[in-house]
Structure 1
Amino acid sequence: MTQINFTVNFEELTQELLNCNLNQIVKSQLITILNAYMEAERDELVNVDAKAKTGNRQAVRNGYYERDFTIPIGRLNLKIPRTREGEFSTKLFERYERMDQSLILMMIDSVVNGVSTRKVTKIVEAMGGEKVSKSFVSNAMKRLDPEIQEWSQRPLTHTNYQYLYVDAMYIKVRENHKVVPKAVYIAQGVTENGYRELIGFKISEEESHKAWSAFFSDLRNRGFSNPNLVISDAHAGLKSAIQSQFLNVPWQRCTFHFLQNMIKVMPKKNSEAERRVLRQLFQASTIQHAREFRDEFFQLVSGRSKFDRAAEILEQGFDDATQYFQFPQGHYKFIKSTNTLENINMQIRRREKVIRIFPNVDSAFRLIGSVLIDLSEKLEETKRYLP
């Protein structure tokens, strides 16, 4: 039996598995690896390339049939290769029966570590009990990555989008023997029918005007047209990219972040009344009521130097933070902040917390893409986001 060394914190991993739907990601990637393994078995029997015309064939490929395979994490639907005369028979299942749960544990370990090539090699060795070539691992990974690549580059011409939410989060990646931060850009759209869709993500060096502009250009190249409103935080590079890429489209500054920016610079003691007025401002039902709360705040803090910075932030950002009043009242609470994207970021963070540091950018792209595909499928099953 192959000796397996685990590197994850299994106490954290147990909580991770209990609190999320990681099993779906595990299943998807495990199916890809098992199908690739059986395909390689048949290739070895046939002994020639699928498109080659030669008299040296040991057998003739004859498509696939499907079979359910039950393992500890659930039932997998596999594509079993076959040959015309029935010479091929996979040894996968008898090998699995001879081994313990190390395959599943290794698969989970690989998923939370981004499914690196080294991890996949260990998986295949655990399955077959012997060393495998780099070409096999490479081919297996080539079968895994296209799904994420295809999803991340799919056309966006099937609908028009009312609203666009964009946000960035930071992860740590090993690069040139150093641990460096990378920005993960994520975009979510709300369709004209009121449903949410995750429409894009990208891993970049940092948040900047240039990088955000490139991200938006990619969305446009895929068919994304001007939305009615763009919602984001007030990062300078992001804001300028939105203004240059989405001409004549209003920008909504996230009210949650805006409120936090003001509270952060206010005294922690004896400021309850001022905080309450700021919160009421963003709970107002009309722009006129919001302006009244704004003016009430200015009156409360007038002549009190400790509130000068908060008052300045409010004065400069009020108009950008109240763009949502131009839209249907039933949409206010859904479009005045990026909270819907914060929930997406939280799902990624739960995986990233276990990993801590991604071994490379491809690994990060693979895991984050898998999580987003899984969440995207869930969004398709949920009810309308907007009333």
Structure 2
Amino acid sequence: MTQTSFEAPIAGDDVTSDEVVNRLLAQADSTGRQLVGPGGLSTQLTQKVLERALDAEMADHLGYEPGDPAGNGSGNSRNGRSRKTVLTDIGPVEVTVPRDRNGTFTPQAVRKRQRRLDGLNDAIVSLYARGMTVRDIRAHLDELYGVDVSPDLVSKVTDAVADEIGQWQNRALDPVWAVLFVDAMWVKIRDGVVTNRPVYVVVGVDFTGAKHVLGLWIGKDGEGAKYWMAVLAELRNRGVTDVCFVCCDGLPGLPQAVTTVWPEAIVQTCVVHLIRSSMRYASKRDIALVNAGLKPIYTAPTVQAATDALDALDALEDSVLGRRYPAIVRLWRNAWTELTPFLAYPEPVRRVIYTTNMIESLNARLRKATRNRGAFPTEQAALKTLFLTIRTMTRPDEAVGVTRSNGWKATLNAFAIQFGDRININR
């Protein structure tokens, strides 16, 4: 490697200080070299920092600095250097690694047989989690950093999370939850032929207001109560003994499965989903009128008021509008049992359970990550992408899949009054 007159910061320098930055800019101006990119000054700075760290590790390993008489008769000494190129998130960097005569030196800054620094692995995982294909990732790294990575490398780096996925899917859960949100999205999986497969997502809200993605399950189209029994039994086996509310979007078989696994749980149909489904039957010119006819039901202050509002639904059914859209009235009548439970609770509780929009926003991010990939070769490949997407959405100080709710205290007080001994915020 051709050496340059690049002057690295001396020991003790703050590499973010104005003095060091000005020094780098001055050298860039005087030599005409770029600060970033392949062969840029930032690459040389990385090389110097790595080599200085390796030299410090060697001094610590031997117990003396280069040229120190203390090394005479020590039984080990420096024995030249070897060159290697490591891939970093700023591009390939060639470094010289010191050797010792006894062959006992094990460097940590650049480990033996290591060809990629952790930053590059993190970049690959981040790009993969954001929906980029393997081909796109290779082109991106080559264009920005001059790094040529193979498809096998991308797969190897992302496959390293397999154990993490298993631990996350099987982790122990809290015994009691305020709300579970259940929803489904669809992915294409190539299993002999390409088929659309549902991915069921369960998000739990605990009594601190934290929202946890409890798991992901890939099912087959048409599965009902039997499948949901298996999913909910798995959650129970992981420690969930009681749930106050389960909020869902009319998934077949789910209400029966919920009451079998958690007899005291209340199944709540997502009101927003029901409204949206209703509007699919109505023409644009009538949407406002249909919503005006339905609003007295889903805004009723009590269950009795909602029951009284059925008169309005009857009136809608007998009207010209109702005869034009009979499917809307039938939709609300069929959903009545799972629609009205939230009306018996105060507004802070209603605000949490009346819609699955929170889990839908999560699903929107998951759909974006899967949209560019076409069909996944296996279920595991789909789970890997979905898990990595969830991981990138999580704050660094939180466990994977955990986000925080705002204004939770009023809701917590309402849950404490309504459910009494079933909840324990001290757990």
Asked whether 1:364 is paired with 2:382, we answer yes
Which residue of 229, 246, 258 corresponds with 2:245? 229
1:153 corresponds to: 170
1:321 corresponds to: 339
SS at match of 2:348: helix
* Contact 1:173–1:181 (8 Å) recurs in 2: yes
Q: How does 1:70-219 map to 2 (within 5 A)?
A: 71=89, 85-88=104-107, 90=110, 110-111=128-129, 143-157=160-174, 160-176=176-192, 178-209=193-224, 210-219=226-235
Letter of the structure 2 residue corresponding to residue 375 of structure 1: M
Using a 3 Å threshold, how does the CA distance of structure 1 residues 84 and 192 change in structure 2: closer, same or farther?
farther
Runs ≥4 in structure 1, deviation > 4 angstroms? 91-97, 101-116, 126-132, 136-142
Deviation at 1:303, TM superposition (A): 5.0
* Contact 2:124–2:157 (8 Å) recurs in 1: no
Deviation at 1:169, TM superposition (A): 0.8
CA distance in 2, matches of 1:362, 1:372: 15
SS at match of 1:155: coil
* Contact 2:180–2:246 (8 Å) recurs in 1: yes
* Contact 2:201–2:215 (8 Å) recurs in 1: yes
* Contact 2:132–2:372 (8 Å) recurs in 1: no
* Contact 1:188–1:197 (8 Å) recurs in 2: yes
Deviation at 1:267, TM superposition (A): 5.0
Deviation at 1:298, TM superposition (A): 2.0
SS at match of 1:163: strand
* Contact 2:279–2:287 (8 Å) recurs in 1: no
Deviation at 1:150, TM superposition (A): 0.7
Deviation at 1:72, TM superposition (A): 5.0
CA distance in 2, matches of 1:109, 1:356: 17
Deviation at 1:114, TM superposition (A): 8.4
* Contact 1:195–1:384 (8 Å) recurs in 2: no
Deviation at 1:232, TM superposition (A): 0.4
Deviation at 1:283, TM superposition (A): 2.8
* Contact 1:274–1:297 (8 Å) recurs in 2: no
CA distance in 2, matches of 1:328, 1:266: 31
SS at match of 1:355: coil
Which residue of 331, 334, 342 corresponds with 2:352? 334
Letter of the structure 2 residue corresponding to residue 90 of structure 1: V
Question: What is the alpha-carbon root mean square deviation over aligned residues?
Answer: 4.3
SS at match of 2:183: strand
Identity of aligned residues (%): 20
* Contact 1:113–1:363 (8 Å) recurs in 2: no
Deviation at 1:185, TM superposition (A): 0.9
* Contact 1:165–1:189 (8 Å) recurs in 2: yes
CA distance in 2, matches of 1:107, 1:262: 41
Letter of the structure 2 residue corresponding to residue 325 of structure 1: L
1:91-130 C-alpha deviation (Å, 9 max, x unpaired): 7999679xxx9988866665456888xx99xx9xx99989
Which residue of 289, 292, 302 corresponds with 2:318? 302
Tell me the TM-score normalized by structure 1.
Answer: 0.64
1:333-371 C-alpha deviation (Å, 9 max, x unpaired): 220111111011011011112223223211111111122
Deviation at 1:214, TM superposition (A): 1.3
Larger-gyration structure (1/2): 2
Q: For structure 1, which runs of at least 5 residues remain unmatched after alignment?
A: 1-68, 74-82
Using a 3 Å threshold, how does the CA distance of structure 1 residues 343 and 109 change in structure 2: closer, same or farther?
closer
Q: For structure 2, which runs of at least 5 residues remain unmatched after alignment?
A: 1-86, 92-101, 411-427
Using a 3 Å threshold, how does the CA distance of structure 1 residues 273 and 184 change in structure 2: closer, same or farther?
same
Q: How does 1:248-267 map to 2 (within 5 A)?
A: 248-266=264-282
Using a 3 Å threshold, how does the CA distance of structure 1 residues 70 and 237 change in structure 2: closer, same or farther?
same
* Contact 1:169–1:345 (8 Å) recurs in 2: yes
CA distance in 1, matches of 2:295, 2:356: 17
Deviation at 1:139, TM superposition (A): 7.7
Letter of the structure 2 residue corresponding to residue 192 of structure 1: F
1:365-385 C-alpha deviation (Å, 9 max, x unpaired): 111112223335464455465
SS at match of 2:260: helix
Deviation at 1:284, TM superposition (A): 3.2
Asked whether 1:279 is paired with 2:298, we answer no
CA distance in 2, matches of 1:131, 1:352: 21
